[in-house]
Structure 1
Amino acid sequence: MFKKGILIFIISLAACFKLNAQNSAAAPNPFMVKGFHIDLRIQVMTMDALKAFALKLSRQGINTIIMEWEGTYPFEKHPLIPNRYAYTKSEVASFIKYCADLKIDVIPLQQSFGHVEYILRNEKYKDFREDQKDFSQVCPLQTDLDKALFTDLYTELAATHPSKYIHIGGDETYLLGHDERCKLKAAKEGKSKLYIDYIKTLCDIVIKLGKTPVLWADIALKYPDAIKLLPKRTVFIDWNYGWDMNNFGDHQKLMASGYEIWGSPALRSSPDNYFLTQWEKHFKNIRDFVPAAAKLGYKGIVMTSWSTSGQYSAVFESEEQLAEVYAIRHVYPLSGFNILVDAFNESINKAGPLNIDEFIAKYCKNKYGFDAEQSAKFWQALKTTPYEIRNGRVLSKQPLTIKQVLDSTKSALDVLYQLTPDANKNEFEHYRLMTGIRVNYLQLEYILQKANAPDFTGEMVPGILQELRNLMMSEDVVDMHFTELNKNFLNASELEAENNLRNLRTRLLYDRLSRKK
């Protein structure tokens, strides 16, 4: 009887192992491409920081990095395009080789339609512009010029990147049909034809180089029938940062087109800036979109991480002479977002909905040694009053004053300083610093609200000036904290520029009110 029982147990155990193996084989991870997008339009990471970040990603299963080099790529044939922070060719080659050793494919992203201010700002490329005041987009009818330029750029990128892919951008082409010639073609054939004809030209260049074109899918979703004119090997990346799945268009039509699709949530995106990070929004984006992409049958998933909105403010010396273009929105550097990187990696490796509260508790326990109560306090502090302030008004569903948001954020900062991590203390300092930056910002907004009140008079100026002096001292402390935490992550001149940018409004207001009588 005993031997028979043992035999039954062994048979049952074997059946369980077989069933588990069958289930595992029946449900492999749906994403062949597990990617991360690094945006170097501003906040250019040092090469050591880039390599350290790639190592972190590889250890968590990431096999692809999409590099938006922009002005940091050292184009030789077009030397006006690289900026002051451009890497050398040897540095680029070293990074790509380093990633290859980690089994990471590095895909270059070269914007080739919209978001090309950094190219079109130069007089040499003025004939490429769709608009002579808005330098964000090339004219799709300058076919010979555009084809020659992007053939040059793609050829250089192909020479240094062994990847089979080149990402050509193609998103947010808001100026379609703006130029007079384009306007005529759009009226006759439609904006979709204007877009697709040009994108096809770019795809053909990439294919002739032996590469596969990749592009953002927002326009493709808008014009699902027109995209059938593109080469069948084209790959689309559907980016969704927390909105309705059909925000850009019908996903079923996109899937029915037969093209390979990858999905893309965001770790930093609008309205994030230095003064606001909507942590809960990004966690929910990961929780909801990753499994949705898996269900739709997407073959890849790529986390985007935007350092800026991609919109720029042009400064003119005269009516026609450009002096500079400035990125409108800056966010906190990628150095402060390890928790979201890890959340994304956990989500894609199981390809199921992320349990946010469980993840936060586990992360805080493993990284900082927090118990459940401490973890809950940490999470509550991160997501406290995550509202924009616009023109002196809090953008919240329930009525809130700036003072109320300020007080709540101060309380959150107190909580973060009361929590004492056992490990990874530098990482934890980023949360404190980001919250401290927000407190200073809200303090300025509160001061501005008082200064702009109908009853504000000259007699009140001394009091406001004292508040501004106190704020500037606090900003100086934050600047030192920011520089210390990010000194190995960004270039020294970038750290100074970022500090100056954050404090600009405070200084300008103080100078204006403290003028000599």
Structure 2
Amino acid sequence: MKNPRLNFTKLTKQYLLVVLLLCSINIQSHAQNKLKVKAFHVDLRIQVMTMPALKQLALKLHNQGINTLIMEWEGSYPYSGEVVISNKYAYSRAEVKDFIKYCGSLHIDVIPLQQTFGHVEYILRHYKYAALREDDKDFSQVCPSEHELNRELFTKLIKDMISLHDSPYVHIGGDETFLLGHCEKCKKKAAEVGLSRLYFDHIKLICDIVSGLGKKPVVWADIALKYPDYIHLLPKETVFVDWNYGWNPNLFGNRDKLLASGYEVWGAPSIRSEPDNFYIEKWWNHFENIHNFIPQIKALHYQGVVMTSWSTSGAYSTVFDSNDDPVALYPIRRVYPLSAFNLLITAYTEAVKSNQPLDISAFIRGYCKTNYGFSLTDAELFRTALFTAPYPVAFGKVKGKTDLSLDNLVDSTRSALNTLNKLKPQKNQQEFEHYRLMAEIRLFYLNTLRLEAAMNSDEFNESVKGKYRATAVALKDQSVKLDEKFNRLNGGFLKAGELADEKALRNAKLNELFDKLVK
């Protein structure tokens, strides 16, 4: 006969194990649910999307659990008072209002991002605001010593943003103030009170405007991390966004000081960032960023997460006329449009929902099976092709890879493209075509760089030009086909003029080489 006491002890242990398991699940679920803000950042500095595409993006994000959009409208915003700031791709006020109403129906909060310190080229390029420039040649930053001029302008702009947005937050930027302490006024003040005070006096001015209008200011955290001494000057309702795209958490400064400041903090990984370009996307870096940083965000008890997605670096090359007056600004870096990044968007939203770090390989296999109908073998081929040799090139050399030549890189890229062309998705064929086009653009660009390298060699002279003309003509023909495919896949997603802008930049280097060779 079995001992009843032993049975009771065994049952008690099993019961306790079940209770502990349920408690663990509840604690993990509670930790996950503490992320009150689950956001996606939309960068419209370039690659301005059509309104139907924006609504489609909002719906997709809503269906995947996102409850907030941070809209970096920049010049695409239809300013009512300072109309000169709005660019040729600006939406109408009715369109913006309708979009925010649509997002509201999806229970998505739309936070406007109004840059108020750095990254204000789109404002300061206009001589109406010349008195606010920190530098007469670099228009990226306002002078923080011009308190009243800053107060006057940004009160107008922020009021304008609030008039169309009903979010409790206003994002005021504040990142990458590379010219801090640059002009004579600011040099003098920095020498007296330090760069931290110079920075936070201006940020406080802007935060006070936002708070005075009944909203909570949101600030990128990099400069606060670098110069934290006067962080306490800001209103207690200020929110900092700790953006980290895969680097040491203390890259900008001691993160512990930010955590100890008492301010609410959100974390921000990225799916498009440096060194991504229209001819390179470091897929693995972004997957790894999601895998590593989102669990950190939860473990650090941040109250929000924001996936950033940069269409450009935010740095510009300025064209001046003879009077040192700017006539054009060209973004230094463009990335392939957001239309191609459903894979990474879904990886992000799945990671936010999960209590475990994203299993990158398992996620890609599952995504390929669900969205393309791929077998495990095909999913692995896709993953390998996607991650193949994502190295940039400068001056005809592969950066950071002394053992890899430009010819080797061309061969690797061609092999990856061949793999993508052999794969046959059973569904979502148009989405898959973006991967092929990205690989085609990369191969086209690398072949253009190979032609450029040959023309920069000591062996290049008039007698050998004919040798390279056929290559230039073939690349020119290929560029026409790529343009047609790009327009077919992104027409309706980007505004028509943006398609033309993308084409001009994508073909600029080849066109210059072609004109030298084919006359």
TM-score above 0.5, yes or no: yes
Give 1:180's aligned residue: 184
1:410 and 2:414 matched: yes
How far apart are the structure 1 equivalents of 2:10 and 2:52? 55
Could you tell me which of 495, 498, 509 is aligned with 2:502?
498
Q: 8 Å contact 1:290–1:351 — kept in the other structure?
A: no
Query: Tell me, which stretches of 5 or more residues in structure 2 are unaligned?
Result: none
Summarize the Cα distance change of 1:56–1:15 in structure 2 as closer, same or farther, 3 Å threshold: farther
Give 1:22's aligned residue: 23
Residues 200-245 of structure 1 show CA distances to partners (whole Å, capped at 9, x for unaligned) of 0000000000000000000111122221111111100000111111
Cα drift, residue 10 of structure 1: 11
Counterpart AA for 1:107: I
Counterpart AA for 1:409: T
Summarize the Cα distance change of 1:66–1:351 in structure 2 as closer, same or farther, 3 Å threshold: farther
Cα drift, residue 174 of structure 1: 0.5
Q: 8 Å contact 1:294–1:351 — kept in the other structure?
A: no
* 28-37 or 328-337, larger mean C-alpha shift: 28-37
Cα drift, residue 24 of structure 1: 3.1
Give 2:518's aligned residue: 514
Could you tell me which of 68, 72, 86 is aligned with 1:68?
72
Give 1:190's aligned residue: 194
SS of the residue corresponding to residue 85 of structure 2 reads coil
1:147 and 2:151 matched: yes
1:46 and 2:50 matched: yes
Could you tell me which of 345, 352, 376 is aligned with 1:348?
352
Q: 8 Å contact 1:290–1:352 — kept in the other structure?
A: no
Give 1:165's aligned residue: 169
Residues 169-226 of structure 1 show CA distances to partners (whole Å, capped at 9, x for unaligned) of 0000001111111111011111111100000000000000000000000011112222
Give 2:212's aligned residue: 208
SS of the residue corresponding to residue 263 of structure 1 reads strand
Cα drift, residue 392 of structure 1: 1.3
SS of the residue corresponding to residue 113 of structure 1 reads coil
SS of the residue corresponding to residue 219 of structure 2 reads strand
How far apart are the structure 1 equivalents of 2:229 and 2:194? 12
Counterpart AA for 1:49: A
- CA-atom RMSD, angstroms? 2.0
**Residue correspondence of structure 1 range 476-487 to structure 2 within 5 A:** 476-487=480-491
TM-score normalized with structure 2 length: 0.96
Q: 8 Å contact 1:115–1:137 — kept in the other structure?
A: yes
How far apart are the structure 2 equivalents of 1:397 and 1:510? 29
How far apart are the structure 1 equivalents of 2:426 and 2:10? 45
SS of the residue corresponding to residue 249 of structure 1 reads coil
1:237 and 2:241 matched: yes
How far apart are the structure 1 equivalents of 2:339 and 2:421? 19
1:444 and 2:448 matched: yes
**Residue correspondence of structure 1 range 241-280 to structure 2 within 5 A:** 241-280=245-284
Cα drift, residue 445 of structure 1: 0.8
SS of the residue corresponding to residue 80 of structure 1 reads helix
Q: 8 Å contact 2:437–2:486 — kept in the other structure?
A: yes
**Residue correspondence of structure 1 range 52-91 to structure 2 within 5 A:** 52-91=56-95
Q: 8 Å contact 1:224–1:257 — kept in the other structure?
A: no
Cα drift, residue 102 of structure 1: 0.8
Q: Percent identity at matched positions?
A: 51
Query: Tell me, which stretches of 5 or more residues in structure 1 are unaligned?
Result: none
**Residue correspondence of structure 1 range 357-436 to structure 2 within 5 A:** 357-436=361-440
Could you tell me which of 32, 40, 49 is aligned with 2:36?
32
How far apart are the structure 2 equivalents of 1:221 and 1:160? 32
Give 1:98's aligned residue: 102
Q: 8 Å contact 2:67–2:108 — kept in the other structure?
A: yes
Q: 8 Å contact 2:48–2:495 — kept in the other structure?
A: yes
How far apart are the structure 2 equivalents of 1:15 and 1:332? 53
Cα drift, residue 161 of structure 1: 1.1
TM-score normalized with structure 1 length: 0.96
Give 2:290's aligned residue: 286
Could you tell me which of 110, 114, 123 is aligned with 1:110?
114
Counterpart AA for 1:475: S
Cα drift, residue 398 of structure 1: 4.8
